[in-house]
Homo-oligomer: A and B are copies of this chain.
Amino acid sequence: MRTRVTELFGIEYPIFAFSHCRDVVAAVSRAGGMGVLGALHFTPEELELELAWIDEHVGGRPYGVDVVMPAKYEGADMGDAEELLAKLQGMIPAEHKRFLEDLLAEHGVEPPTDQAGKALLGWTDVTARPQVEVALKHPIALLANALGPPPADVVEQAHRQGVKVAGLASNARHARKQVDVGVDIIVAQGTEAGGHTGDVATMVLIPEVVDAVGEDTIVLAAGGIGRGRQMAAGLALGADGVWTGSIWLTVAEADTPERALPKLLNATSRDTVRSRAWTGKPARFLKTAWTDAWESENSPGYLPMPMQFMLIADALPRISRSGDGELVTFPVGQIVGSMNQIKPSAQVIYDLIDEYVEAITRLNTITDSD
**A interface residues (Cβ-Cβ under 8 A, vs B):** 1-3, 14, 171-172, 190-192, 198-208, 223-225, 227, 229-230, 232-238, 268-270, 333-335, 337-338, 356-357, 359-360, 362-367, 369-370
Contact = CB atoms under 8 A, between A and B. Distances in A.
Contact of A360 (B201, B207, B364): B364
A285 B174 CA distance: 23
Nearest to A274: B199
A15 to B, nearest CB: 13
A203 B235 CA distance: 12
B233 A203 contact: yes
A197 to B, nearest CB: 11
Contacts of A363: 232, 235-236, 360, 363
A223 B82 CA distance: 48
Nearest to A226: B204
Contacts of A224: 201, 203-204
Contact of A230 (B207, B270, B338, B370): B207
Contacts of A201: 190-192, 201-203, 223-224, 334
Contacts of A356: 367
A207 B201 CA distance: 16
Given A200-B269, A201-B202, A207 B338 contact: yes
A267 to B, nearest CB: 12
B202 A235 contact: no
7 contacts: A2-B365, A171-B270, A199-B270, A232-B237, A233-B234, A236-B236, A236-B359
A370 B7 CA distance: 12
Please give me the 5 A-B residue pairs with the lowest Cβ-Cβ distance, nearest first.
A2-B369, A203-B224, A233-B233, A192-B201, A232-B236
A302 B269 CA distance: 26
Task: Kindly name the residue among A232, A335, A356, A366 whose own CB sees the greatest number of chain B CB atoms within 10 A.
Answer: A366
A204 B229 CA distance: 10
